[in-house]
Amino acid sequence: MSRPLRIQYEGALYHVICRGTERRDIFLGDEDRKTFLKFLKESVEAYQVIIYCYVLMSNHFHIIIETPHGNLSEYMRRFNITYTYYFNRKYKRVGNLYQGRYKSILVEKESYLNILSRYIHVNPVQVKKLRDKLFREKVRYLRNYPWSSLIGYLNLKKRESFLTCDIILEQYGGDNAKGRESYWRQIQKDLSSEMDINKQIVGGCLLGSDGFIEKIKKRYLKREKREVPSIRRIQKHKSVDLIFEIVCKELGMGFDELKNSRGEKRQILMEVLYRYSGLNGREIGELLGLDYSTVSVGRKRLVDEMKKDRELGDLFTRIENSLSIIKI
Q: State how far the Cα of 102 lies from the Cα of 319, in Å rounded to an integer.
A: 33
Q: Show me where the domains of the chain are located.
A: 12-191, 238-328
**Whether pLDDT at 165 is above 90:** yes
* pLDDT of residue 147 exceeding 50: yes
* Calculated CA dihedral for residues 174, 123, 51, 75, nearest 10 degrees: -170
Q: What is the pLDDT of residue 325?
A: 57
pLDDT value at 220 more than 80: no
List the single range of 108-117, 132-141, 178-187, 273-282 with lowest mean pLDDT. Answer: 273-282
Whether 205 and 167 have beta carbons less than 8 Å apart is answered as no
The CA–CA distances, whole Å, from 221 to 5, 173, 179, 202 equal 10, 38, 39, 14
pLDDT at 229: 44
User: Residue range 276-282: average pLDDT?
Assistant: 76
Higher pLDDT, 195 or 150: 150
Task: For residues 230 and 212, give the distance between their C-alpha atoms in angstroms, rounded to a whole number.
Answer: 17
pTM: 0.69
**How far apart (Å, rounded) are the C-alpha atoms in residues 30 and 41?**
17
Give the pLDDT of residue 238.
63
Query: Would the pLDDT of 2 be above 60?
Result: no
Q: Is 56 helix (H, G, I), strand (E, B) or coil?
A: strand
**Integer Cα distance of 326 and 328 in angstroms:** 7
Identity at 45, one-letter amino acid code: E
CATH topology of domain 238-328: Chromosomal Replication Initiator Protein Dnaa; Chain: A; (1.10.1750)
Q: 135 exposed, middle or buried (CB, 10 Å; 0-12, 13-18, 19+)?
A: exposed
Confidence of residue 327 (pLDDT cuts 50, 70, 90): very low
pLDDT in the model for residue 1 = 41
Task: Give the pLDDT band of residue 241 (cuts 50, 70, 90).
Answer: confident
Considering only residues 208 and 262, tell me which one the structure prediction assigns the higher pLDDT. Answer: 208
Q: Which residues does residue 18 pair with via DSSP β-bridges, in sequence order?
A: 61
Residue pair 29/44 in contact by the 8 Å Cβ criterion:
no
124 CB-near residues (< 8 Å, 6+ apart): 55, 57, 130, 141, 142, 145, 147, 148
User: What's the confidence (pLDDT) of residue 324?
Assistant: 67
Residue 166's Cβ-count burial label (10 Å; 0-12, 13-18, 19+) is: exposed
Q: Are 222 and 251 in contact (CB under 8 A)?
A: no
Q: What is the DSSP letter of 133?
A: S
Predicted pLDDT at 293: 81
Q: What is the rounded CA–CA span in Å between residue 282 and residue 296?
A: 9
pLDDT at 270 over 90: no
Cα–Cα distance between 65 and 72 in angstroms, integer?
9
Q: What is the mean pLDDT of the chain?
A: 86
pLDDT in tens, 42-94: 888 888 899 999 999 999 999 999 999 899 998 998 899 999 999 999 999 98
Position 160 scores a pLDDT of: 94
pLDDT above 90: residue 222? no
Query: What fold characterizes domain 12-191?
Result: Alpha-Beta Plaits (3.30.70)
Rounded CA separation 68/88 (Å): 31
Split at pLDDT 50, 70, 90, the class of 304 is confident
- Is the pLDDT reported for residue 234 higher than 60? no
Contact between 167 and 66 under an 8 Å Cβ cutoff? The reply is no
DSSP code at position 52: E
Instruction: Give me the pLDDT at residue 225, please.
Output: 44
> In terms of Cα–Cα distance, which of 289, 238, 247, 297 is closest to 268?
247
